[in-house]
Chain A
Amino acid sequence: MFDANVMAGLMNVLTPFNLLAVVAGTAMGLFVGAMPGLSATMAIALLLPLTFNMPPATGLSMLASLYMGAMYGGSISAILIRTPGTPAAAATVMDGFPMAEKGQAGKALGVSLTASLFGGVFSSIVLLTVAPALGKVAVEFGPVELFGVAIFGMTIIGSLSQGSAIKGLLSGAIGLMLAMVGMGPITGSPRFTFGMIELYSGVSYIVALIGLFSIPQAIRLVEKEEVVGKAITNFRDRMLPTLSELKGLMPTILRSSVIGTVTGIIPGTGGDTACWFGYNEAKRFSKDKDKFGTGIPEGVAASEAANNAVVGGALIPTITLGIPGSSATAILMGGLMVHGIMPGPTLMTEHAGITYTLIWAVMFSNVAMFIEGLFFTRAAIHVTKVKNKVLAPIIVILCVIGAFAINNSMFDVAVMFLFGIMGYFMDKIGMPTAPMVVGLILGQMLDTSLHQSLKIGHGSLMIFYDNRICFWLLVLSGLSILQATPFFSHCKRLLQKNQPE
Chain B
Amino acid sequence: MGNLAKTGIATGLAIIFAVGLYLDSSKMSFEGYLLPRLLSAVIILLALGMFLEAWRCQCRATDSECAVEAPIDKTKAFVFVAMICAYIVGINWLGYFVATPAFIIGALHYLKAMTWKGTLLLAVGFTLFVYLLFVSFLHLPIPLGPME
Contacts and interface: CB of A to CB of B under 8 A. Distances in A.
Interface of A: 49-50, 52-53, 163-164, 166-167, 169-170, 173-174, 176-177, 180, 184, 186-187, 189, 191-192, 194, 215, 218-219, 222-225, 387, 389-390, 392-394, 396-398, 400-401, 404-405, 408, 410, 413-414, 417, 421, 425-426, 428-431, 446-447, 450-451
Contacts of B40: 177
Q: Which 7 A-B pairs have the closest CB atoms?
A: A389-B113, A223-B77, A170-B46, A393-B107, A405-B140, A389-B111, A223-B72
A223 B91 contact: no
A177 B34 contact: no
A164 B65 contact: yes
A413 B84 CA distance: 11
Contacts of B133: 50
B39 interface: yes
B32 A52 contact: no
Interface in B19-43: 21, 24-25, 28-29, 31-32, 34-36, 39-40, 42-43
A401 B134 contact: yes
A397 B47 contact: no
Contact of A410 (B65, B74, B114, B143): B143
A191 B28 contact: yes
Which secondary structure dominates chain B's binding surface? Answer: helix
A414 B122 CA distance: 26
19 contacts: A52-B140, A170-B46, A170-B50, A176-B35, A176-B39, A177-B40, A192-B21, A387-B113, A389-B108, A390-B122, A392-B107, A393-B107, A397-B103, A398-B130, A401-B130, A401-B143, A429-B6, A446-B35, A451-B31
B80 A421 contact: no
Interface residues on B, range: 35 or more
A68 to B, nearest CB: 22
B31 A187 contact: yes
Contacts of B91: 400, 413
A414 B39 CA distance: 25
Contacts of A421: 81
B92 interface: yes
Contact of B77 (A174, A187, A189, A219): A219
Given A219-B81, A426-B10, 8 more contacts: A53-B140, A170-B14, A174-B43, A177-B40, A189-B32, A219-B80, A397-B130, A413-B88
A180 B36 contact: yes
Contact of B28 (A187, A430, A446): A187
- Interface-central residue, B80, B130, B133, by most chain A CB under 10 Å: B80
Given A390-B122, A393-B103, A429-B3, A164 B50 contact: yes
Contacts of A189: 28-29, 32
Contacts of B35: 176, 180, 446-447, 450
Contacts, number: 160
A103 B81 CA distance: 43
Contact of B46 (A49, A173, A225, A446): A173
Interface of B: 3, 6-7, 10, 14, 17-18, 21, 24-25, 28-29, 31-32, 34-36, 39-40, 42-43, 46-47, 49-50, 53, 65, 70, 72-74, 76-77, 80-81, 84-85, 87-88, 91-92, 96, 100, 103-104, 107-108, 111-114, 122, 126, 130, 133-134, 138-143
Contacts of B88: 400, 410, 413-414, 417
Contacts of B139: 53
Nearest to A54: B138
B72 to A, nearest CB: 4
A83 to B, nearest CB: 14
Given A174-B17, A408-B141, A431-B10, A397 B126 contact: yes
A405 B46 contact: no
- Interface-central residue, B32, B34, B103, by most chain A CB under 10 Å: B32
Given A170-B47, A400-B87, A429-B7, A390 B114 contact: yes
A218 B65 CA distance: 25
Given A167-B50, A389-B113, A417-B85, A405 B6 contact: no
A224 B50 CA distance: 27
A429 B31 CA distance: 35
Contacts of B104: 393-394, 397
A184 B30 CA distance: 11
B67 to A, nearest CB: 10
Contacts of A169: 46
A390 B113 contact: yes
A163 B64 CA distance: 11
A425 B78 CA distance: 13
Nearest to B139: A53
A387 B112 CA distance: 11
A429 B6 CA distance: 7
Contacts of B50: 164, 166-167, 170
